[in-house]
Copies of this chain bind each other. A is one copy, B any other.
Amino acid sequence: MSHTLDIQNGVVEMSHGSGGRASHTLIRELFASHLDNPYLRQNNDNARFDAPPGSLVMSVDSHVVSPIFFPGGDLGALAVHGTLNDVAMSGAVPLHLTAGFILEEGYPLADLERIVMSMARAAKDAGVEIIAGDTKVVERGHGDGVFITTTGIGVIPPGSARISGDAAQPGDAILISGSMGDHGAAIMLARESMDFDHAIQSDSAALHDLIAHMLRIVPNIHCLRDPTRGGLATTLNELAEQSNVGMVIEESAIPIQPQVAAVCELLGLDPLTLANEGKLIAICPPDQAQTLLKAMRAHPLGENAAIIGEVTEADAGMVQLVTGFGGRRILDWLAGTPLPRIC
């Protein structure tokens, strides 16, 4: 009796979620073979490790992006990048990830393997390992291919300055690391099967190396956050509310790729509410802004970084956009659901 999976032609079956023989075969031949590391090899339903000194940071994200494969990325890489970035926004060095998979009966094993290989590559590139995993299977029509929930853990080196969404101060400068809306626009195009002259790629990327570089040069950054679901508009509003400050943003200073702007105009969407998966917002004391900008631009993931505005004492909780004509409008939270299942 052979227990070998037929990855090329096989599909996910209910027995792959039973916990019995079929589950073990799937885990060994598909998951463990690509994600292999000393922690998974402990084979203990849990992974034991030692952390370097410092405070710990954990973050979790469930990923349900549709379609699963899109220009510039896929569910697997996104599940690694998204959670690593949430950990890194505290200033922590990411250490490890765990991953829980919810598979739909009938999903092709070859596609599942592509996703797992992509996760393995993204984790390796980021210098982390997936140390524990779990796989469940739901009946056809009760899932949607593959959902992946990743939890990340990282460590904040002792003596680091505190980075938090409530730490923005009036006068602080607001920077972003690059163009806005790329991920949202790429997903939208992939979903609509639109034939567009200039393909738009998702910006999906792990940002911890950029952050480490920024903190080496400007250790007293006040806030870091990645403008994912809800985009720049929503994330700035979150930070303004949390720090109880106002913000004034120069619209013309926000980098937006021409093809993203064109797609948004065509479809009536605002690039400032579109998700990003490889960009960050940084808020720092005004006298550090130019130094931080230069540091960001020196890193491949920050080469289009820009100073986009400043924190104000007035109008607490409100984000105002100075438009091209010198007028001002409120930049509000995302309302409604222009683009579901973006990550």
Q: Interface on A for B, CB 8 Å cutoff?
A: 13-15, 17-24, 42-51, 55-64, 86-87, 89-90, 92, 96, 98-102, 131-139, 141-144, 147, 149, 151, 153, 156, 164-166, 225-226, 228-230, 234, 238, 242, 273, 275, 333-343
Is the pair A230, B18 in contact by a Cβ cutoff of 8 Å? yes
Residues of B within 8 A of A22 (CB): 335-337
Chain B residue at smallest Cβ distance from A142: B144
Number of copies: 2
State in angstroms the CA–CA spacing of A164 and B44 once bound together: 7
Is the pair B64, A18 in contact by a Cβ cutoff of 8 Å? no
Residues of B within 8 A of A17 (CB): 229, 337, 340-341
27 contacts between A and B (CB under 8 A): A14-B340, A17-B229, A18-B340, A19-B334, A19-B342, A20-B230, A20-B336, A21-B333, A22-B335, A22-B337, A43-B242, A46-B57, A46-B58, A46-B92, A48-B57, A49-B55, A49-B57, A51-B51, A60-B100, A60-B134, A62-B134, A62-B136, A64-B138, A98-B151, A134-B149, A136-B147, A138-B147
Checking B46, B47, B149, B242 against A149 with a beta-carbon cut-off of 8 angstroms, the contacting residue is B149
Chain B residue at smallest Cβ distance from A62: B100
Residues of B within 8 A of A229 (CB): 17-20, 23
Is the pair A23, B230 in contact by a Cβ cutoff of 8 Å? yes
Checking B19, B225, B234 against A20 with a beta-carbon cut-off of 8 angstroms, the contacting residue is B234
State in angstroms the CA–CA spacing of A1 and B37 once bound together: 52
* Cβ of A318 to closest chain B Cβ, rounded Å: 14
* Cβ of A217 to closest chain B Cβ, rounded Å: 22
Checking B19, B99, B147, B340 against A60 with a beta-carbon cut-off of 8 angstroms, the contacting residue is B99
State in angstroms the CA–CA spacing of A132 and B144 once bound together: 25
Is the pair B58, A98 in contact by a Cβ cutoff of 8 Å? yes
Checking B19, B51, B102 against A56 with a beta-carbon cut-off of 8 angstroms, the contacting residue is B51
Is the pair A42, B164 in contact by a Cβ cutoff of 8 Å? yes
Is the pair A101, B153 in contact by a Cβ cutoff of 8 Å? no
Given contacts A58-B131, A102-B102, A230-B20, contact A43 B87 (CB under 8 A): no
